[in-house]
Amino acid sequence: MKQPYKPISLLPRISFAALCLLFLSGAAAQDVHFAQVQDMNSWYNPSLKTNKEMQLRVNFRNVNYQGMTAYTSGAATLDAPLISKAKKDAPGGFINLTAGVNYDKSNGGILNITTGMLAISYAQPLDNNNTYLSAGFQAAYTSSRISLSGGNLFPDQFDKYGPIGSATTADPLQSGNTYSYFNAGAGLSVFHNDAGKQWYFGGSVRHINQPYTENTHSGTFRLPMNYGFQAGYTKDLKNQGSLGAYGIFTWQGGAAEHLVGLLYSRNLDTQGANALLIGAGYRIGDALIPNIGLKFGKNRVALHYEVNISGIRTSHYSRSGFELSYGYTF
């Protein structure tokens, strides 16, 4: 006699579709989420372009939950000050344009979130060209998609004995679900650059328009404004290198995320063109993030590894993640 089916092993596939809906409908209107936060300053605060160099940054992050869903994230960001080479070292303010793209992909591509971002800022010197006041504005467009092709089953494709042969489903998610929205942000900052030290601090508000994040335009699923504070300080150690500290603090709805870190740069030559980078970050209440990197000429590469310390460790699941970043200064 055929025994009633216990669909334990298939439940994750079914329940993940419901989880994806939650992601699309609010909580998951995801912002950038990288350990190398210095690379993402223009995403967090569009005014935080603190030098006159054109720079390209590429980041890749992979996170795995043992027995749970894994996801990957990637971002590319280009900062382009509108200033000629002849005027780059001269006193005066400058305009910067930033363009970036960020993606998140989870559970083998079932959930995909892609964001394109454009930002503009203007930095005005407050004294002898070492200290600046900067204001910036940001516009972003996010597209979220559930793609359920490839062996996903829905409740109406089961009976009490298990999957029903070639049964089709009437579930509207079968053909996927897509939603896109626009959001805006702004920021203010003050920064200082000279031969001995560099520092910055700034405040930002993102999702000013509180966009709807699903098709029904329910007030329940509007993206709350995101408030942020950013700060950093770097001290040059004569000809040896530099030592820096940084932090980024964000609040959104009833949630908060704060990350602080230290970075030591050890020169490998007398000119400082090449350097070894060693640092550690702490995402408060969540993860320790040791990192190591190398600067060689106009290039910089770094590897971060996240060591989970959050409450998830008390369950039978574990989480780990690594992040690879590359930067180039033109």
Identify the CA nearest to 176 among candidates 149, 212, 215: 149
Residue 181: pLDDT band (50, 70, 90) is very high
319-329/55-65 β-pairing = antiparallel
Q: For residue range 119-153, what is the model confidence (pLDDT) as tens digits? A: 999 999 997 778 999 999 999 999 988 776 655 66
Residue 6 has pLDDT above 70, yes or no: no
pLDDT value of position 21: 42
- What torsion do the CA atoms of 5, 8, 10, 13 make, to the nearest 10 degrees? 140
Look at residue 99 in the predicted model and tell me its pLDDT.
98
Tokens of 10: 């298939």
Instruction: Report the C-alpha gap between 204 and 158 in whole angstroms.
Output: 49
Structural domains of the chain sorted by starting position, each given as residue range(s) with its CATH number in brackets: 11-329 (2.40.160.40)
Q: What is the mean pLDDT of residues 172-183?
A: 75
- pLDDT of residue 264 exceeding 60: yes
Which region holds residue 156: left if phi is over 0, alpha if psi is between -120 and 50, else beta? alpha
Find all residues with CB under 8 Å of 317, minimum gap 6, and list them.
65, 66, 67, 68
What is the pLDDT, as a whole number, of residue 11?
A: 40
Q: Is 325 helix (H, G, I), strand (E, B) or coil?
A: strand
Residue 50 pLDDT > 90: yes
pLDDT of 67 strictly over 60: no
| Residue 318 near residue 307 (C-beta atoms within 8 A) | no
Tokens of 82: 């509108």
> What would the pLDDT profile of 185-194 be if each residue is shown by its tens digit?
999 999 999 8
The structure's pTM equals 0.82
